[in-house]
Each structure stands twice: as structure tokens, then as C-alpha cells.
Amino acid sequence: MAFLDNSGDIILDAVLTDTGRLRLAQGDGSFKISKFALGDDEINYELYNKSHASGSAYYDLEVLQTPIFEAFTNNTSNLKTKLISVSRTNILYMPILKLNENAVAGNPGQNGYSNRFARNGDVNSGASNIGDNKFYVAVDKTTYELINGHSTPGQTNRFALDLAEGRYVHGLLTGYNANINRKDIIRIDQGLDTEEIAPEIALDGDLRESAYIVELDYRLGRVKEPITENTTNVNFIDDDNIASYYMTDEKYVNPKTGFEPENSTGTDGTSMHINDLKTAGNPQVYKGPRGTTLQFRIEASQELQSSTYLFNQLGTSQSTRAAGNIFGFSTGTSGVTEDVPIAGKTIYYIDSTVRVVGANTGYRLDVPVRYVKIAD
């Protein structure tokens, strides 16, 4: 990797992606350039200087002379900010994507939260309150129940008691076929991050996302529906095992089920839609116009569900009694009785990222996730 020499003439540096090079090497006629993308990852537009002493010809000089990397083929590392063409000249704000962590669950009989991981420890057992900036994916039922356990000394069935009391860990996705009502999700909203335009004004159609591309490491996980246990059909898996899902279905984009409180209605008297702008049951993250909403869950791969091999190869492990463990389990020290269900077990985890890209605007949001397993 090196910088382009942009001190003089404008240089256009184009390369094939890994997939393009593969198809070219196959020599079977499958190679055909049908699409290309442009980005401005390195550009800082604040360098545009309308007060330059030498006049208007020099306003953008520093922008044009910004050091630019050579194009490279790894599709996971380049073009974070893609360029799009819009013919209108009256656009003041561009939409972005945000995690909606305000989404509420209603009650335990309904769908789950869209929050990053947090666990309130049982102070009576010496456990700690834990929070993280990631979503956690429990790869099997045992792991899910132990994390949810809030174990009280001597109680081996604390999980069932917590379910009855409606106590839940936030941001813990069921990465297996879970026969439970409460299922946390990942919800991402599109909108204008401004207060200068009222939210009742519709987002312009040419800026509105109708499809999203979700990318994740296929060795570790799969995308699945937000309500059911059905996994999503993958569209493409590249040479780095990065799976791409092109998502347009109403199950994921602007779904009409999942977050509505029971028997609720929208402002027009009809059944409440998830992106209704004025309902308390659908909290928002934008004060300006809103676009579409995407929600989904993650299923752990069979390799993660059935063994610790990939955890040992790619991840980290620690004892459930280790001080500062990622779940805040009590250590059994200082006269505090250890949580009975987790005694003698090991925590395994792998950190990864799920990338969400708006298919229309190209805006990208990276969501950190942690696959977790508790085993003997």
C-alpha cells in the first residue's frame, strides 16, 4: 500500500476486487465489469478555504492535494464512505444510520430490546453490574441461561425465577434456535440528524433506503429474522469468508410486527407501524425526518454452537471466577459464596463486527458483536 502522487495531474487508480480477480483467472467468461464504486475516505472537506489570499482558484487546493491511498482489492477495508450522484442542488443534509437503542420491549411476553450488552448483577451473590458497547451473541441455550441467571447463592434454577419476574439482560442475542418469547434484536434507523427540519416532513425518496446490505464473518454467524428462528438466505460469500445479505423484505426493512405493544394503534387509528413518527411505543433516535428501519438477529454458526475450536483459534477465554470477568460473575472470594451454576466453567468469546450498508446512499455503520460461550 502506498500514496498516489497527486501533486500534478489527476490520477484515476482502479483495481479489481478479489472476486473480480478470481473470475478473471477462471477464464470461463464469467468475468464482466458491470459495476464500480467511488469513495472519498481520505478527504477532509473542511480544508476548503474560501478566504485564501490567492483567490478562488486556490480555495480547494489543499483538498486536491490531500494524500490518497492507492486502490486496493480487499473489499472489507476500502470505500467506507461511498460517493453517490444526486442531480438536485438543494440538499442541505444527508441521511445517516444509527443504532436505535431507545426501542422498548413492552413486557416479557413480547419481543426484546435493541440495546448493547448490560447485565445487572445480584449484589447478594457478589456479582457486578456490567455494560459493554457490543451486542453479545449467546451461542447455545446453556450460555444464554447462565448469563441471564442473576444467580443467588444456593439457587440452581435462578433463570426460571428471573423469567417469572421479568428480569432480563439487555443486548444478549439468542444465537441458537431459542424457544422463548423474549428475543433481543439489532435495530438500525435511517434519518436526518438535525433539528432544523421537522420530523413530520418525509425524507426525500431519492435518499430513502429501501434495501440494506448486511455483512458478517460467515465462520462465526448468520443473519436471521427478528421474530422467527428462520435464517436468511445469503447472497454472496467472498474469499475472506465475509457473507453479504441483500435485505429488502418487510421482515427486516420497516417491519410491521415486533415492537408494537399489544392492541396499540397509530396516529391514524390503524395498527401501529414500526416507523410511525408519533407513537410512544416506537421511540426514535432522530429529531429530524426519518427514513426506513432495519432489524435483524444473529445466529451463531454450528462450529461455535457445538465446540470451542474457533474460540480457541480466534478468541479469548477466562475463568468464570476470574476477577473482572466479562459477565460480572462473582469470584467466590471475601466470604461471598460463588454462583452455583457457573462454578468451574470457562468463558469463551470472539469479538467481531457486523457491517450494515445502505444500498441507496452507501452509508455504512459497523456494529460490534461478541460471540460468547460458557462451557466446562
How many percent of the chain have pLDDT more than 70?
76
Torsion, Cα 186 187 191 197, to 10 degrees, reads -130
- Report pLDDT digits (tens) over 161-200: 454 554 557 889 999 998 776 678 899 999 999 999 988 8
pTM of the model: 0.81
- Bridge partners of 347? 318, 374
Q: Is the pLDDT of residue 145 over 90?
A: no
Comparing C-alpha atoms, which of 318, 317, 325, 316 is closest to residue 126? Answer: 325
Q: Residue 153's pLDDT is what?
A: 42
Q: Is the pLDDT of residue 288 over 50?
A: yes
Q: Residue 85's pLDDT is what?
A: 85
Q: Residue 80's pLDDT is what?
A: 75
Confidence of residue 1 (pLDDT cuts 50, 70, 90): low
Q: How far apart are CA 296 and CA 230, in angstroms?
A: 11
Least confident of 36-45, 70-79, 313-322: 70-79
Q: Is the pLDDT of residue 223 over 90?
A: yes
Q: How far apart are CA 294 and CA 285, in angstroms?
A: 13
- Report pLDDT digits (tens) over 38-76: 888 888 889 999 999 999 988 988 888 888 887 777 766
For the chain, domain boundaries = 1-83, 84-376
Q: Is the pLDDT of residue 260 over 50?
A: no
Q: Residue 233's pLDDT is what?
A: 95
The mean of the pLDDT values for the chain is 80
Q: Which residue has cell 446512499? A: 361
Comparing C-alpha atoms, which of 230, 237, 265 is closest to residue 251? Answer: 230
Confidence of residue 276 (pLDDT cuts 50, 70, 90): very low
Confidence of residue 309 (pLDDT cuts 50, 70, 90): very high
Confidence of residue 366 (pLDDT cuts 50, 70, 90): very high
Q: What number is the average pLDDT over the span 247-254?
A: 91
Q: What number is the average pLDDT over the span 125-134?
A: 74
Note whether 215 and 366 are within 8 A (CB). Answer: no
Q: Exposed/middle/buried for 327, CB within 10 Å: 0-12, 13-18, 19+? A: buried
